A and B are shown apart, each in its own frame.
Chain A
Amino acid sequence: MNFEIINPGTTKELLAAVKKFQKENFRFGAGCTDFLMELKKNPSEGLTVINLSQVKDAQFNGLKKSVKGLRMGAMLTAHKIVMNEEIKNKYPVLHNAAESLASTQIRQVATVGGNMCTASPSGDIACALASLQADCELLSTTGKIRNVNINSFFAGLRKTVLKKNEILYGISIPANIKSTKNIFSNFIKVGTRRSMECSVVSLAYHIQTDSNGIIIKAGAAIGASAPTIRFAATACDFLIGKKFKNITQKEKEEFAEKVLSYASPITDIRATAGYRKEVLFNISKSIFE
Chain B
Amino acid sequence: MKKTKTKTEKLHEVSFTLNEKKVSCKIKASVLLLDLIRDVFELKGTKPGCGEGECGACTVLINGAPVNSCLFLAVNADGKNITTIEGLTKSDGSLHPVQESLVAHGAVQCGFCTSGMAMSIKGLMNQYENSHNVPGEIKNGIPSRDEIKKHLEGNLCRCTGYVKIIDAAEAMFKQEQ
Contact = CB atoms under 8 A, between A and B. Distances in A.
Interface of A: 1-5, 7, 29, 32-33, 36-37, 40, 46, 49, 51, 53-54, 79, 83-86, 102-106, 108-109, 194-196
A104 B66 contact: yes
B154 A196 contact: yes
27 contacts: A4-B9, A5-B73, A7-B75, A36-B32, A36-B73, A37-B52, A51-B75, A53-B76, A54-B76, A54-B78, A84-B136, A85-B137, A102-B154, A103-B155, A104-B66, A104-B123, A104-B151, A105-B56, A105-B59, A106-B71, A106-B154, A108-B62, A108-B65, A108-B66, A108-B67, A109-B67, A109-B71
Contacts of A195: 150, 153-154
Contact of A84 (B137, B151, B155): B137
Interface in B63-94: 65-68, 71-73, 75-76, 78
Nearest to B72: A109
Given A3-B29, A46-B5, A49-B29, A29 B73 contact: yes
B52 A5 contact: no
The 4 tightest CB contacts between A and B, nearest first, are A103-B154, A5-B29, A83-B137, A105-B68
Contacts of B26: none
B74 to A, nearest CB: 10
Contacts of B59: 105
Main SS at interface, chain A: mixed
Nearest to A83: B137
Interface in B1-18: 5, 9-10, 12
A55 B127 CA distance: 24
Contacts of A33: 53, 71
Contact of B71 (A37, A79, A86): A37
Contacts of B28: 2
B45 interface: no
Nearest to A2: B30
B5 to A, nearest CB: 7
Nearest to B63: A108
Contacts of A105: 53, 56, 59, 66-68, 120, 154
Contacts of B110: none
B141 to A, nearest CB: 16
A37 B68 CA distance: 12
B54 interface: yes
Nearest to A39: B30
